[in-house]
């Protein structure tokens, strides 16, 4: 049905730059007009923590690592960090109230005073975009109490807050500074599909960022760029000054980006000009630090029961937040060789709720559980056996290790180093597991692994061409109609073309790029097609396949990922109308430019990977 009828004489794909006439030249001029921004501002919107950083062009030219990041302060003034929790708090009328530590503290105060009824509290909602395989603009997410809001609205509010906070920070340094001088960079996991990327892009535009000033940075790539600038091996030069040691051309290394929600893994090779070439497509899964939190939560469920924890969350949110903040600190510092028990301070209210619900104290119940010999309760604190605590990491580490092993096996000994970045990589448990798995590899972690993605995104914004090529994760193509060949094509796919009655075969997968193919940045593929009335109604299907050479879009390894929208001329297309399609690969996003010779216009961003 959603087929594009290809001209027989123009079926051969042509690679390289193409000339679509004056309108295409205008489009290229528009792209080039923002080549060198005055300032690059990056927003790293994470599952658990978010932040922003920026640098002026003159700062970048003098010292690329002179990057400004915000200091966030928790309500008790005891915690200062470069990131703030990815938490959004809405008022009962569903308007924005606060973000980050401010949102956490405000909601905790409301809950303590029993005034939180009707307020909406969203946390860790970024994973919605990773898990949801049928993502729509209208996708709904729930807050911690099950109240619903459109995901697009919540994401937009969060990005808008970070954007406006950054602009306020800028005004403290520069009296007058206009937003049109900024290139914005938004980080996304490399393993996200096109729909999730488009969702974030549209949320950022809704938040007030101009589309032409916005680019996406893939998180492990950003981290890789940063690690190619930081002093890994510091050399003394020019009377005591230091400069960064850069990997030699030909060096291949794995980037392991461990965040709160996901683990992103890719392999890069350094080129002669210090650009980076991807030699293994980005891959990974939901093996971030939040899985450790989930394991801890299940441990608490076995001790107290789900109902008790739910009551604590609903009635004493300040205690609930404090409990998991305490665990977060322990999680980041616990070591593999730990021999002493880990102390977890329990909120008094949790113990009271437990007794109200069960009629027993925790001290009376604990000896009857599976943890009788592994957990001690004393003076309002749990003393947890180190093996129990380290077991919280088991499933997460197994997923990461298995995936790394699979990738390394395809490279033999050509990958010599592993870059460990992301907030979760700060855990000594993670570092030891990686080093033990690959004793012959050099495992490198920068001094601030949690900021590697954020600072790398700023560097990427200044020099987007630093990534020279990427590996396609899938075969990607259009669904087209071709002349039907008896004995070759399935009879069920035979249709008659309305215009001239010619017999065609539908559901043909016309590959634009194959799985595993190395695609240079800016690589373009051109083809010419005849449009159909149906294409203006349903759009032209874009499909991806896990197979290298799919034949039909109906194969089980093929998935429709979106459509290309055509604008129908008044009165429809004539029989000899042509659509010239230029598909650009290799960037952080799929891009399409369509030229309709009937309308005599070229339009970009005509693809749609989201459903309303």
524-543: pLDDT as tens digits: 888 888 877 777 777 788 89
The answer to whether residues 292 and 324 touch, using CB atoms and an 8 Å cutoff, is no
What pLDDT, on a 0 to 100 scale, did the predictor assign at position 540?
A: 83
Tokens found for residue 54: 């920026």
For the segment 498-523, the average pLDDT, to the nearest whole number, is: 88
H or E segment to which residue 461 belongs: helix 452-462
262-289: pLDDT as tens digits: 899 999 999 988 899 999 988 888 898 8
What pLDDT, on a 0 to 100 scale, did the predictor assign at position 75?
A: 59
Exposed/middle/buried for 291, CB within 10 Å: 0-12, 13-18, 19+?
A: buried
The residue among 157 and 598 whose pLDDT is bigger is 157
CA dist 322 and 320 (Å) reads: 5
> Which span out of 229-243, 330-344, 574-588 was modeled with the highest average pLDDT?
330-344
71-112: pLDDT as tens digits: 898 755 556 788 999 999 999 999 999 999 999 889 988 888
What pLDDT, on a 0 to 100 scale, did the predictor assign at position 247?
A: 80
Of the listed ranges 311-320, 365-374, 473-482, the one predicted with least confidence: 311-320
What pLDDT, on a 0 to 100 scale, did the predictor assign at position 612?
A: 63
Lookup result for tokens 């909406």: 120
For the segment 574-595, the average pLDDT, to the nearest whole number, is: 79
What pLDDT, on a 0 to 100 scale, did the predictor assign at position 352?
A: 95
- Evaluate if residue 3 carries a pLDDT over 70: no
Distances (CA, A) of 568 to 87, 445, 458: 43, 54, 41
At 16, is the pLDDT very low, low, confident or very high (cuts 50, 70, 90)?
A: very low
User: Could you give the domains of the chain?
Assistant: 4-34+470-608 (2.60.34.10), 39-247 (3.30.420.40), 290-391 (no CATH)
What pLDDT, on a 0 to 100 scale, did the predictor assign at position 174?
A: 81
Q: Over the chain, what is the mean pLDDT? A: 85
Distances (CA, A) of 109 to 9, 102, 113, 317, 318: 70, 11, 6, 8, 7
344-388: pLDDT as tens digits: 999 999 999 999 999 999 999 999 888 988 999 998 999 999 999
At 19, is the pLDDT very low, low, confident or very high (cuts 50, 70, 90)?
A: very low
The answer to whether residues 8 and 483 touch, using CB atoms and an 8 Å cutoff, is yes
- Evaluate if residue 117 carries a pLDDT over 50: yes
What pLDDT, on a 0 to 100 scale, did the predictor assign at position 24?
A: 38
187-238: pLDDT as tens digits: 999 888 888 999 999 999 999 999 999 999 999 999 999 988 876 543 223 3
The number of residues making up the chain comes to 612
What pLDDT, on a 0 to 100 scale, did the predictor assign at position 611?
A: 67
- Evaluate if residue 22 carries a pLDDT over 70: no
For the segment 256-266, the average pLDDT, to the nearest whole number, is: 90
Of the listed ranges 145-159, 208-222, 229-243, 469-483, the one predicted with least confidence: 229-243
At 32, is the pLDDT very low, low, confident or very high (cuts 50, 70, 90)?
A: very low
What pLDDT, on a 0 to 100 scale, did the predictor assign at position 296?
A: 96
For the segment 465-493, the average pLDDT, to the nearest whole number, is: 92
- Evaluate if residue 25 carries a pLDDT over 60: no
Q: Is 93 helix (H, G, I), strand (E, B) or coil?
A: coil
The residue among 248 and 347 whose pLDDT is bigger is 347
The answer to whether residues 512 and 520 touch, using CB atoms and an 8 Å cutoff, is no
The DSSP code sequence of 387-449 is: HHHHHTTHHHHHHHHHHHHHHHHTTTT-EEEEEEESGGGG-HHHHHHHHHH-TTSEEE--S-G
Distant-in-sequence contacts of 292-297, Cβ < 8 A, 24+ apart: 292/331, 292/392, 292/393, 292/396, 292/424, 293/324, 293/327, 293/328, 293/331, 295/391, 295/392, 295/393, 295/394, 295/395, 295/396, 296/324, 296/327, 296/331, 296/392
CA dist 7 and 11 (Å) reads: 6
What pLDDT, on a 0 to 100 scale, did the predictor assign at position 501?
A: 86
For the segment 532-560, the average pLDDT, to the nearest whole number, is: 88
At 184, is the pLDDT very low, low, confident or very high (cuts 50, 70, 90)?
A: very high
Of the listed ranges 481-495, 534-548, 576-590, the one predicted with least confidence: 576-590
CA dist 608 and 542 (Å) reads: 9
- Evaluate if residue 608 carries a pLDDT over 60: yes
What pLDDT, on a 0 to 100 scale, did the predictor assign at position 21?
A: 32
What pLDDT, on a 0 to 100 scale, did the predictor assign at position 53?
A: 97
414-433: pLDDT as tens digits: 898 899 998 888 888 998 89
CA dist 249 and 202 (Å) reads: 38
What pLDDT, on a 0 to 100 scale, did the predictor assign at position 28?
A: 38
φ and ψ of 544, to 5 deg: -125, 150
Strand partners, 337: none
């Amino acid at each position: 049905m959603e087929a594009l009828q290809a001209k027989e004489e123009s079926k051969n794909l042509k690679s390289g730059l193409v000339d679509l006439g004056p309108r295409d030249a205008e489009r290229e001029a528009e792209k080039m007009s923002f080549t060198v921004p005055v300032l690059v501002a990056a927003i790293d919107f994470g599952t658990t923590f978010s932040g922003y950083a920026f640098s002026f062009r003159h700062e970048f030219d003098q010292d690329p690592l002179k990057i400004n990041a915000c200091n966030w302060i928790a309500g008790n003034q005891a915690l200062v960090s470069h990131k703030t929790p990815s938490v959004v708090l809405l008022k009962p009328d569903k308007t924005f109230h606060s973000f980050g530590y401010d949102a956490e503290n405000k909601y905790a105060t409301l809950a303590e005073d029993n005034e939180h009824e009707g307020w909406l509290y969203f946390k860790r909602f970024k994973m919605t975009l990773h898990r949801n395989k049928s993502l729509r603009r209208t996708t709904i997410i729930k807050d911690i109490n099950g109240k619903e809001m459109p995901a697009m609205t919540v994401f937009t509010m969060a990005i808008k807050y970070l954007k406006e906070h950054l602009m306020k920070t800028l005004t403290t340094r520069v009296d007058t500074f206009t937003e049109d001088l900024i290139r914005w960079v938004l980080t996304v996991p490399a393993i996200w599909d096109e729909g999730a990327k488009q969702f974030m892009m549209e949320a950022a535009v809704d938040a007030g960022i101009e589309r032409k000033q916005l680019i996406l940075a893939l998180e492990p790539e950003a981290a890789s760029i940063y690690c190619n600038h930081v002093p890994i091996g510091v050399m003394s030069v020019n009377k005591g000054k230091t400069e960064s040691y850069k990997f030699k051309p030909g060096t291949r290394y794995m980037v392991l980006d461990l965040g709160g929600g996901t683990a992103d893994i890719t392999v890069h090779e350094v080129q002669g000009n210090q650009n980076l070439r991807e030699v293994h497509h980005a891959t990974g899964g939901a093996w971030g630090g939040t899985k450790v939190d989930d394991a801890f939560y299940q441990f608490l469920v076995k001790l107290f029961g789900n109902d008790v924890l739910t009551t604590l969350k609903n009635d004493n949110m300040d205690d609930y937040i404090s409990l998991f903040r305490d665990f977060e600190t322990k999680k980041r510092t616990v070591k593999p060789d730990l021999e002493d028990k880990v102390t977890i301070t329990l909120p008094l209210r949790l113990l009271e709720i437990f007794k109200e619900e069960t009629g027993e104290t925790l001290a009376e119940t604990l000896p009857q559980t599976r943890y009788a010999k592994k957990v001690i309760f004393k003076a309002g604190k749990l003393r947890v056996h180190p093996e129990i605590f380290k077991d919280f990491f088991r499933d997460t580490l197994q997923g990461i290790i298995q995936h790394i092993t699979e990738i390394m096996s395809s490279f033999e000994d050509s990958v010599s180093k592993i870059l460990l970045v992301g907030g979760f990589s700060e855990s000594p448990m993670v570092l030891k597991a990686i080093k033990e798995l690959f004793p012959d590899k050099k495992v490198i972690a920068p001094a601030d692994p949690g900021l590697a993605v954020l600072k790398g995104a700023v560097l990427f914004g200044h020099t987007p061409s630093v990534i020279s090529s990427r590996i396609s994760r899938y075969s990607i193509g259009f669904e087209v109609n071709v002349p039907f060949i008896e004995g070759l094509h399935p009879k069920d796919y035979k249709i008659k073309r309305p215009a001239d009655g010619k017999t065609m075969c539908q559901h043909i997968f016309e590959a634009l790029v194959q799985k595993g193919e190395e695609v240079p940045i800016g690589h373009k593929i051109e083809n010419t097609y005849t449009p159909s009335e149906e294409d203006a109604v349903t759009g032209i299907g874009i499909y991806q396949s896990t197979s290298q050479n799919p034949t039909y879009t109906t194969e089980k390894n093929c998935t429709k990922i979106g459509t290309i929208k055509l604008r129908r001329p008044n009165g429809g297309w004539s029989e000899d109308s042509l659509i010239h399609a230029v598909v650009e690969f290799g960037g952080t996003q799929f891009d399409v430019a369509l030229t309709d010779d009937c309308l005599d216009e070229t339009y970009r961003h005509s693809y749609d990977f989201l459903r309303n």
